[in-house]
Structure 1
Amino acid sequence: MMMMIQGRERTRGGVGNGGDGSDEEEELEVEKFRGESKPSWKRLFGLLRMESSIRDGIVFRDGSSLGQSSVSDAYIIRPDSWRYTVWVHFILIWAVYSSFFTPLEFGFFRGLPENLFLLDIAGQIAFLIDIVVHFFVAYRATHSYRLVSSHKLIAIRYLKSRFLVDFLGCLPWDAIFKVSGRKEAVRYMLWIRLSRAKRVTEFFERLEKDIRINYLFTRIVKLLVVELYCTHTAACIFYYLATTMPPSQEGYTWIGSLQMGDYRYTHFREIDLWKRYITSLYFAIVTMATVGYGEIHAVNVREMIFVMVYVSFDMILGAYLLGNMTALIVKGSKTEKFRDRMTDLIKYMNRNNLGKGMSNEIKRHLRLQYDRSYTETSVLQEIPASIRTKISQKLYEPYIKEVSLFKGCSLGFIKQIAIRVHEEYFLPGEVIIEQGHVADQLYVVCHGELEEFGRGENDRAEEFIKRLQTYSSFGEVSFLCNTPQPYTIRVRELCRVLRLDKQSFTEILDIYFSDGRIILNNLLEGKDANLRNELLESDVILYIEKSESELAMRLNCAAFDGDYYRLKRLIETGADPNKADYDRRSPLHVAASKGDGDISQLLIEHGVDVNISDKFGNTPLLEAVKGGHDEVASLLVKAGASLAIDDAGGFLCTTVVKRDLNLLKRVLANGINPNAKNFDYRTPLHIAASEDLHSIASLLIEAGASVFPKDRWGNTPLDEARIGGNKDLIKLLEVARASQIG
């Protein structure tokens, strides 16, 4: 009964391997088949024999079948195995026979003859075996798309769906009819067997998706089968209505009163079966065509009622056939678009020799798009952008809010992320991000389950890391830090994920950049304590430092450009105005050096440190003083700034040497000590005396400079003046000495 050990079936495919190789090779060679102008019927039936759905034989590294609910399930039938495919086509033949013969048996037979009875029993035995087989056939879960191989779940699913109808259809209703005293109500139970026609419709659906079979040919055959089967069933019912009248009143039936030429259908029950069936079929087809000649003429009330129902149904069927033919001409059906797209993809894969594994993965993903119809972009394309924004926020914002990576971020940032994400689906076994690749997409899991694993030092053994479920994110380390992806992400269940590209994320951070630091902190907090994550943490810290340096540069650039509103927006959205660049220069340093009072006032209002020093020991007040920006210097002094210079003596001495009287006045006015000494213990007054700078010496004395300090060589400023011989300068210093002594 085609039972097979599951472990044996696992060896037929691996991750991303797509299952049975021969079938995939046949599909990949579609161009070869299409290249022949007239394919033979033998090849066509060969393709039909090999036809089956795309193979998904996926096995995880732990040896379990994808979606396997219990390792103890010893015997299971995989729906993609070739044995089961043969069995499905064998049962399909019986389904075609049963679907055709059931109306015929109901209308033309009241008790089957022995030869047909034995054939009918053989068919019912085949369907009974199929019922048993169904209890061992694995199935794919609707939501997770995982292959469920638990006998209990398989049995529950089948018992809840088709079991009762299949079982009732297998009962020998003809024998029950004879045993029950030929009660007419029993014969109506035969119509239960028409449920087997569903197998035929499923077969045509598979053929429509099979790009190896001509789509136009498949659709035309399907439409012909639908029309002929409807007329066949109607013909059997027309004849059955005639047999419900007793033989004495057969003239009050459509066939009993029928005369074609000189031939009359009197005693029609004694006419040959084939002739009776052809007559009924002829009138059923002509009545359906409604050409105005040859239709059935109802004779009794029963026939009138059925003709009304039949003609009404004919209108619906005609519209269905006409609509399908129109769709074939304009090529607008969803299935045909799928086939055309699949054909183009296969041509591309054949031309570039992508390999069977990658080709199968692409085909499975395209098939998923067709089955799930997740084309939200095309659906919402004609809707105004404002409405699309609201839809995206309503659909995706609840998921974004719950992601730990975005914990603590502003509501505006969350809304922008929800607007920019794109929805995607992935099949079980697909690898979304491989270890070592640099990710330019950030993913958030909406539904489904994924696994995260990495390779050890020997680059062979896979190390399982963790499971990812709803509200999880992945790819964030590589995405944010521009480093290789540390882990491989693979799908375990059918997954619905939200994807955000790096360009959109960067544009959002340009506005909500303070949330970027929150995200990086969340990224650090979410890492477990092990060696690999410690390395990741160092990468994240380096990226944080880089981001902060870039942010400080943006603040300084805004201050340098005098862009008040840009600087204000940066600060209001969370930027720290105390951040310094690589030279430890803050925005206040830049604003003070430029003499920009508005920006300086803005920075002071936001609590910036007015006494911060840069790499060279310069404070904002010193920058303002150097630039001669008295207004800015006044603002800084009012804010509590003091002129603290690391080497005040050296600075003053240099200023005196440069003879920069204005700078000297400003620094002295802002409280610098005029007696500060340089490395030779020389004061600014020493330099002024030695250089015969009378005006500068006078300014220094007025500011409180002392004439008594001695330098490294024991000289005072007065000694330096006497050496120079400037009498006015000597007199000035002597007067100052007398004043300071007194």
Structure 2
Amino acid sequence: MASGDYKKDYRMDDNSTDSGIDSFRSILKDAEEPYGKLVGDPAEDTECADKFCNATDERLDSAYGSSSLSVDSLSEIVQDCSISTAAEVHASTPTRLSEQEENFLTTITEDGDTILHLAIIHEDEHFAHQLIQWFPKDVLDIQNNLYQTPLHLANYLSLPSVVQSLVEHGASLEPQDRDGNTPLHVACQHGWVDGATSMTRDVSPSKLIPVLETQNWKGLTCLHVATLNGHLQLVNLLMKKGADLNIQEGTSGKTALHLAVEQHDLHLVALLLQQSANVDAAMFNGCTPLHLAVGRQDAAMANLLCQADADKMVRNTENETPLDLADGNDDILALFPFDDIQISGRSVVGMKF
């Protein structure tokens, strides 16, 4: 996705500005390690800082050093400016930031973006890497007005090296954007296996499991999102990382198996069943995956579930069995042989009336 497409799709108006970080500027000042100055040609550094300061003459006085600066107006600045790499910082004599440099690094745009957000939005990976090395860990998790962290944006724009660098420098997987999505939700939504792999590779189960169990505002976990979008590789990855196959989404109580049945995805249903997903898991209304398959007249899906020993006689809250939903479909009725019908737990075959 191009940066222009990103801005068109995601730069919506929102009045929420609480990122959870009390002061971007104070974080920079209080960081344990002092910072080197902007490096490169002195004339170029001065020109870069001057451009930025001229653009922010009307800075607003807030905890973040907010400004009326827009993403577009910073495009040239992001492309022209560069700061030192970590090696260059350590090689030089450490010194505190000048006021001009501090203004550059701590300015927040009208959209709530830091300079790191902007570097990622403009897909300037080199500049983003420099900023990631420069900024303290807490700054990496600052959220913009849409509650997106730099890690959210790197996943939206599929920037693998930036995702890797953010994770290596301690960016959190937990922040949720305005839709409740974590960065891992974003990767699952877009089917980005490389990004999901980078974010989960070296994370301990104790830290990863809570992320895998996090629901967005639609009640969906990462596994639910990957399932709904038919991303087989991602579902497989999440299962290997310990995702609960039987966790219910928050609106109707569907598991990943219910969702895969609704999508008529035989391959995904087969994978979930192979990994011991509960074939008789019930939604809040008591419907099992077999109820859904029969109700959608999907004979192939119903057959697959029956082969996995799905309970054909379980009743939902409307007192309906899957058979009650067959609606005369001969292919589905063939899955319910007469000798499988029971009354009070006893087979009809052989009973005397």
1:676/1:736 CA distance change after superposition, 3 Å = farther
Do structure 1's residue 633 and structure 2's residue 235 form an aligned pair? yes
Do structure 1's residue 549 and structure 2's residue 170 form an aligned pair? no
1:611/1:669 CA distance change after superposition, 3 Å = farther
1:622/1:666 CA distance change after superposition, 3 Å = farther
Retained in 2: the 8 A contact 1:440–1:502? no
Retained in 1: the 8 A contact 2:38–2:101? no
Which residue of 189, 193, 218 maps to 1:597? 193
Do structure 1's residue 707 and structure 2's residue 330 form an aligned pair? no
Retained in 2: the 8 A contact 1:649–1:675? no
Which deviations, in whole Å up to 9, do the C-alpha atoms of 1:696-727 show, x marking residues without a partner?
Answer: 22112122321222234433223444xx3445
1:728/1:415 CA distance change after superposition, 3 Å = closer
Give the Å deviation of 1:680: 4.2
Aligned match of 1:406:
29
Q: Cα RMSD between the aligned structures?
A: 4.5
Do structure 1's residue 505 and structure 2's residue 105 form an aligned pair? yes
Which deviations, in whole Å up to 9, do the C-alpha atoms of 1:280-312 show, x marking residues without a partner?
Answer: xxxxxxxxxxxxxxxxxxxxxxxxxxxxxxxxx
Aligned match of 1:610:
212
* Aligned positions of 1:330-345 closer than 5 A: none
Give the Å deviation of 1:519: 12
TM-score (norm 2): 0.55
SS at match of 2:282: coil
SS at match of 2:336: helix
5+ long unaligned stretches in structure 1: 1-402, 422-437, 442-476, 484-496, 521-543
1:546/1:601 CA distance change after superposition, 3 Å = closer
**Counterparts of 1:657 and 1:517, CA distance in 2:** 41
**Counterparts of 2:259 and 2:232, CA distance in 1:** 21
Give the Å deviation of 1:654: 6.7
| Identical-pair percentage | 24
**Counterparts of 2:28 and 2:256, CA distance in 1:** 50
Retained in 1: the 8 A contact 2:59–2:65? no
SS at match of 2:100: strand
Give the Å deviation of 1:593: 3.2
Do structure 1's residue 623 and structure 2's residue 234 form an aligned pair? no
**Counterparts of 1:605 and 1:626, CA distance in 2:** 23
TM-score (norm 1): 0.29
1:501/1:736 CA distance change after superposition, 3 Å = farther
Higher strand fraction (1 or 2): 1
Amino acid at match of 2:303: S
Which residue of 12, 27, 36 maps to 1:415? 36
SS at match of 1:500: helix
Give the Å deviation of 1:614: 1.9
1:555/1:690 CA distance change after superposition, 3 Å = closer
Give the Å deviation of 1:604: 0.8
1:575/1:652 CA distance change after superposition, 3 Å = closer
**Counterparts of 1:567 and 1:505, CA distance in 2:** 21
5+ long unaligned stretches in structure 2: 1-25, 47-56, 68-96, 108-113, 117-130, 348-353
1:666/1:615 CA distance change after superposition, 3 Å = farther
**Counterparts of 1:651 and 1:640, CA distance in 2:** 14
* Aligned positions of 1:282-293 closer than 5 A: none
Retained in 1: the 8 A contact 2:191–2:234? yes
1:684/1:545 CA distance change after superposition, 3 Å = closer
Aligned match of 2:52:
none
Retained in 1: the 8 A contact 2:226–2:232? yes
Retained in 2: the 8 A contact 1:584–1:615? yes
Aligned match of 2:174:
578
Give the Å deviation of 1:640: 1.0
Aligned match of 2:337:
734
1:733/1:556 CA distance change after superposition, 3 Å = same
**Counterparts of 1:620 and 1:606, CA distance in 2:** 18
Amino acid at match of 1:729: I
